[in-house]
Amino acid sequence: MGKSGSRGSKAAFLEELDPVVFGVGFAIAAAAVLAFVFAPDAATNYMDTANEVIWTGFGWWYLIVMFFLVMFVLFLIFGPWGNIKLGEENEDPEFSFLSYFAMLYSAGIAAGIVFWGPAEAVSHFDVVSPFIGAESQSSEAAVGAIQYTFFHWGVSAWTAYVVVALPIAYCAYRYDAPMRISTVLAPWIGIDNLDSAIAKVVDILAVFATIGGVATTLGLVGSQFLVGIEWTTGASVGDLGTVLIITGMTIAFTASVALGVQKGIRRISYVNLGLFGLLTVVTFIVGPTNYITAIGTEALGTYISQFIQMSFYTGTAETGAGGVSTWIGDWTIFYWAWWFSWTPFVGLFIARISRGRTVRQVAATGVLASTGITIPWFATMGGTAIFLQREGDADVLSAMEMYDEAGAGYPLFEALPLGEVLTGMFLLLVLLFLITSADSSTLALGMLTTGGAQRPSTINRIIWGFLIGALASLLIVTGGVDALQAAAIITGGPFSIIALIAVASMALAFGTQRSLFLRDEDEVSVPNASEVASTDPDPETDDD
């Protein structure tokens, strides 16, 4: 029985495979792994050079595109297209709202939130944005630091995901289109032509961006976990230990994604979100509560009132450099590129779990609700870090000099009441968020490389889990944070263009309600749910 099951899994894997997209995507990932094994210095230098060319020469592009996408999502939330159903008109959502939101948030930027929560605001407090123009470590710098953290992790961060997810979900659940990134082209070329060369190119770009974006996140958050082990035990992990620990994490998230959305991702997301909320509340209560409330309120007001200015600010006038300032390149441009590099897999994942919801529900949940619980986290963690640093109760900046940004959280929690408990909760949160972000990305890579199967075979998911884990561990060992940031900026560029195509596709599909098939729609046979389930090689039971 074991052998027959193994043969069945291999047959399902080979049968579902899109050989072009999988082959090219696998080759890109394998080449990156080999480059960092055999020529780490050359690989890192190449990434740094490409990164500098992109953000100095094209940083303005990221700013303009992101602002446009934010405006478009606001139109979707408040405009007439918000009532369009992603599925049949009388169809109920596949998941309850709590399940839906927990998975969406955990799959999105949540892993990065854990990494940067204690680190970013105190970094801006020390090295102030030229937009704020305040003296380092002053009261004005403190407010500006929280303000910029809200800006980087607020509505802009979530917008691109929703923009890409909506046309895919609409075409998949209304017209039985495949669940892959090239489906955003369906309103232009028709569903019948989604196996064309241009569609393959889009899916290959999606694989490339996903590998870079997810490896960046796993590398950053994995390094944070490794620093936590060194901080709490006093023992140095070393390069071999780094590879072994990231390998263990890879096995954990691969096991989770192999269980599927219902049994794996959804259940871990519940734990994730609960622990995230608990750590935020406890830190707020035992930390400098009044200071957090006061600085968070003021920073939120300046974030809202100066949002447009910040969205277009390049720092050129203040620096006289003739291009995007180094501060904006290192922070805002990096973040916008990072979000774009995450767009294919998070967009696909959101599309996968959004059946039965309306455009307005997806956009409001993905952007407004997600921002709504992100802001308290950054106000609490950032405000606490700044307060402790300013009062001399914890030297967060020194820890960051020693361990990069990965070391910021540990002196922060250590200085608070219940420090050991909070540190343990933080380490567990780092691990869980890494697992949920990684398993949703490997699921998306499976969908991308199988022609759009909503439940790719287990073998497919394991292959991508192994490759991403290997690349992340090698990036940590050879390049550190700088190499990880460079990888995100390089891979995010193409998807700023794909996001604009997704906007145009929604305008065409929602505005005209045109047929997405080139052949006569009377000839189209859309399989019902039971037919889909009977042919699915890896069915899941909806126990929501």
User: What pLDDT, on the 0 to 100 scale, is given for residue 304?
Assistant: 97
Across all residues in the chain, what is the average pLDDT?
80
Segment among 6-20, 33-47, 175-189, 269-283 with least mean pLDDT? 6-20
Cα-flanking dihedrals φ and ψ of residue 358, to 5°?
-90, 165
**Is the model more confident about 333 or about 525?**
333
Distance CA 489, CA 510 (A): 31
CA distance 392 to 411: 12
Q: What is the model's pLDDT at position 520?
A: 42
Residue 527: pLDDT band (50, 70, 90) is very low
Q: Are 450 and 18 in contact (CB under 8 A)?
A: yes
What the block records as the tokens of 230 is 């060194």
- Contact assessment for residue 272 and residue 437, using Cβ atoms and an 8 Å cutoff: no
Contact partners, residue 31, CB within 8 Å, separation at least 6: none
Count of H helices and E strands in the chain?
26, 0
CB-based contact 356:106 (threshold 8 Å):
no
* Paired tokens of 196: 């064309």
516: pLDDT strictly greater than 60: no
Statement: residue 208 has pLDDT above 90 = no
Give the relative orientation of helices 266-286 and 370-391 as an angle to the nearest 10 degrees: 40
Q: What is the mean pLDDT of residues 370-385?
A: 95
pLDDT of 42 reads: 77
Give residue 158's pLDDT. 92
Q: Which residues of 17-39 are buried (b: 16+ CB within 10 A; e: fewer)?
A: bbebbbebbbebbeebbebbeee
**136-194 pLDDT per residue, tens:** 999 999 999 999 999 999 999 999 999 999 999 999 999 889 888 999 999 888 888 88
Q: How far apart, in whole angstroms, are the C-alpha atoms of residue 76 and residue 451?
A: 28
| Distance in angstroms (rounded) separating the CA atoms of residues 456 and 452 | 8
Most confident range (mean pLDDT) of 47-56, 69-78, 391-400 is 69-78
User: Distance between CA atoms of 124 and 382, rounded to whole angstroms?
Assistant: 10
Q: How many residues does the chain have?
A: 544
Domains of the chain: 14-513 (1.20.1740.10)
CA-closest candidate to residue 116, choices 226, 224, 242: 224
Range scoring the smallest mean pLDDT among 204-208, 467-471, 518-522 = 518-522
pLDDT in tens, 423-465: 888 888 877 777 776 766 777 777 777 766 666 777 777 777 7
Listed range (5-14, 266-275, 336-345, 524-533) with the worst mean pLDDT: 524-533
Inter-CA distances, 42 with 33, 46, 214, 330, 479, Å: 13, 6, 22, 21, 11
The winner for highest mean pLDDT among 57-61, 376-380, 516-520 is 376-380
Cα–Cα dist 429/435, whole Å: 10
pLDDT 10s digits, 289-319: 999 999 999 999 999 999 999 999 988 866 5
| pTM of full prediction above 0.85 | no
The contacts of residue 114 (CB under 8 Å, 6+ apart) are 221, 224, 276, 426, 429, 430, 433
Q: For 246-296, what is each residue's pLDDT tens digit?
A: 777 766 666 655 555 455 567 777 888 888 899 999 999 999 999 999 999
Report yes or no: 256 and 435 within 8 Å, Cβ to Cβ: yes
CA 159 and chain centroid, separation? 11
Residue appearing with tokens 């979900």? 169
Task: Report d(CA 129, CA 334) in Å as an integer.
Answer: 14
